[in-house]
Copies of this chain bind each other. A is one copy, B any other.
Amino acid sequence: MRDVVIIGIGQTPVGEHWEKSLRHLAHDAIMAAMGDAGIETADALYVGNMLSGQLAGQEHLGALIADFIGLRGIEAMKVEAACTSGAAALRVGLMAVASGMQDVVLVCGVEKMTDALSDEVTSGLATAADQEYEVSQGISFVGLNALLMRRYMYEYGVTKEQFAPFTVNAHRNGVNNPYAMFRSPVSESAYARAGMIADPINLLDSSPVCDGAACVVLAPASKYRAKAKAQILASAVATDSLAVHDRRDPMTMDAVMLSSQKAYAEARLTPADIHLFEVHDAFSIMAALSLEAAGFAPRGRAVDMARAGEIAIGGRLPVATMGGLKARGHPVGATGVYQIIEVVQQLTGQAGKNQVVGATIGMAQNIGGSGATVITHILGTV
């Protein structure tokens, strides 16, 4: 098995791209990544996307995008695992290079959500949950997360206001990220006043519906050490039941725990060794449950960790350092690749005002559904 490095990164701003089709967004991110890597061709393309079939009537994105970027002929396919499609595509790219079956590989996460009607998007996102046992009862994806948040508040005697620091932190970091969708700070009082979506989840607990594309270029360390920006130290996937009611314990994200532990073991690290954590904060409750299951906070205490400032840049474990899903945005199938890019930016000292000083090891965790697929990557400096 070959060691794999990242030799290029590229992204589009996250937002509402009315003037661009999905293939254009992917093109822009891939061209930026290839330019960054200083390459003019590649051996394969793995696309992370969840909703194009449902929202745009377009499947078969692998060949479509390979052709559109001028690389007609190369291996290409799409990988899907709900909101963790981006990290899943990265994992497939990693396997392609690690196995020696391909050398230079493009991994592109892309999603275009804003062209569709909002009820189409809500229905589309719900396909990440169990259609036969959850969605058929009428519950939406936000609704499922609202049940989890309410349970958390009940179990641990936590108030809704205690979740505010996750939002405040993400927006504070988004201000300095030119690719973030929301670049304004949010105060605790603004959080308290935000409109309710699915009680207790309000607008500022939620990541936005948006468009975006992100691309990383992978290559074998043996041949590309001179171009390497970061090395992939660990990659781990774990799953759980889609249906939340089937979980062993809804307050413990088993797949986060399993995926994190596998990743720590593979990288021979512990949670204390991680310098920054790109957390999957699709909703505030997801950030809290993830921090706990990944071993960064005891059960029910992630809110205290956030309140104490430990998740801020300069704190014990900076999270969402470029704005997270909440402020950078969450174009679902692209998010996992955005997270990887942000870790690379930190490890190469390119995070600007949000730089985590001295960061040499970063972790990105992408979550599909309300915890049914969890993919963790740990990257290190080269």
Query: Judging by beta carbons under 8 Å apart, are A75 and B238 in contact?
Result: yes
- Tell me, in angstroms, the Cα distance from A369 to B67 when the chains sit together: 14
A interface residue numbers (CB < 8 A to B): 1, 21, 23, 44, 50-51, 53-54, 56-64, 66-67, 72-82, 88, 91-92, 94-96, 98-101, 123-124, 126-132, 135, 235, 237-242, 246, 254-255, 258, 368-369, 372-373
- Tell me, in angstroms, the Cα distance from A88 to B44 when the chains sit together: 13
Query: Judging by beta carbons under 8 Å apart, are A79 and B82 in contact?
Result: no
Chain B residues in 8 Å Cβ range of A51: 53
Query: Judging by beta carbons under 8 Å apart, are B74 and A239 in contact?
Result: yes
Q: List 26 A-B contacts (CB under 8 A).
A: A1-B99, A54-B54, A57-B123, A57-B126, A57-B131, A60-B82, A60-B128, A60-B129, A60-B373, A63-B239, A63-B255, A63-B368, A63-B369, A66-B239, A67-B241, A67-B372, A73-B238, A73-B254, A75-B237, A75-B238, A76-B81, A77-B81, A77-B237, A77-B373, A78-B80, A99-B100
Q: Which of B1, B58, B76, B81 contacts A239 (CB under 8 A)?
A: B76
Which of A56, A80, A235 has the most CB atoms of chain B within a 10 A radius of its CB?
A80
A364 vs chain B, min Cβ distance (A): 17
Query: Judging by beta carbons under 8 Å apart, are A258 and B73 in contact?
Result: yes
A97 vs chain B, min Cβ distance (A): 8
User: Which secondary structure dominates chain A's binding surface?
Assistant: mixed
> Which B-chain residue is minimally distant from A78 (CB atoms)?
B80
Q: Which of B64, B79, B81, B132 contacts A63 (CB under 8 A)?
A: B81
> Which B-chain residue is minimally distant from A248 (CB atoms)?
B72
Query: Judging by beta carbons under 8 Å apart, are B77 and A80 in contact?
Result: yes
Chain B residues in 8 Å Cβ range of A238: 73-75
- Tell me, in angstroms, the Cα distance from A127 to B94 when the chains sit together: 28
Chain B residues in 8 Å Cβ range of A23: 132
- Tell me, in angstroms, the Cα distance from A130 to B64 when the chains sit together: 8
A377 vs chain B, min Cβ distance (A): 13
Query: Judging by beta carbons under 8 Å apart, are A67 and B242 in contact?
Result: yes
- Tell me, in angstroms, the Cα distance from A128 to B78 when the chains sit together: 12
Query: Judging by beta carbons under 8 Å apart, are A63 and B242 in contact?
Result: yes
Chain B residues in 8 Å Cβ range of A56: 131
Q: Which of B44, B58, B126 contacts A131 (CB under 8 A)?
A: B58
Query: Judging by beta carbons under 8 Å apart, are A239 and B80 in contact?
Result: no
Query: Judging by beta carbons under 8 Å apart, are B59 and A50 in contact?
Result: yes
- Tell me, in angstroms, the Cα distance from A176 to B23 when the chains sit together: 45
Assuming the contacts A63-B369, A368-B60, asked whether A240 and B81 have C-beta atoms less than 8 A apart, the reply is no
- Tell me, in angstroms, the Cα distance from A380 to B88 when the chains sit together: 30
> Which B-chain residue is minimally distant from A266 (CB atoms)?
B101
Assuming the contacts A77-B88, A99-B95, A135-B57, asked whether A67 and B128 have C-beta atoms less than 8 A apart, the reply is no
A143 vs chain B, min Cβ distance (A): 16
- Tell me, in angstroms, the Cα distance from A282 to B358 when the chains sit together: 57
Query: Judging by beta carbons under 8 Å apart, are A53 and B127 in contact?
Result: yes
> Which B-chain residue is minimally distant from A64 (CB atoms)?
B242
A127 vs chain B, min Cβ distance (A): 4
A371 vs chain B, min Cβ distance (A): 9
Chain B residues in 8 Å Cβ range of A72: 239-241
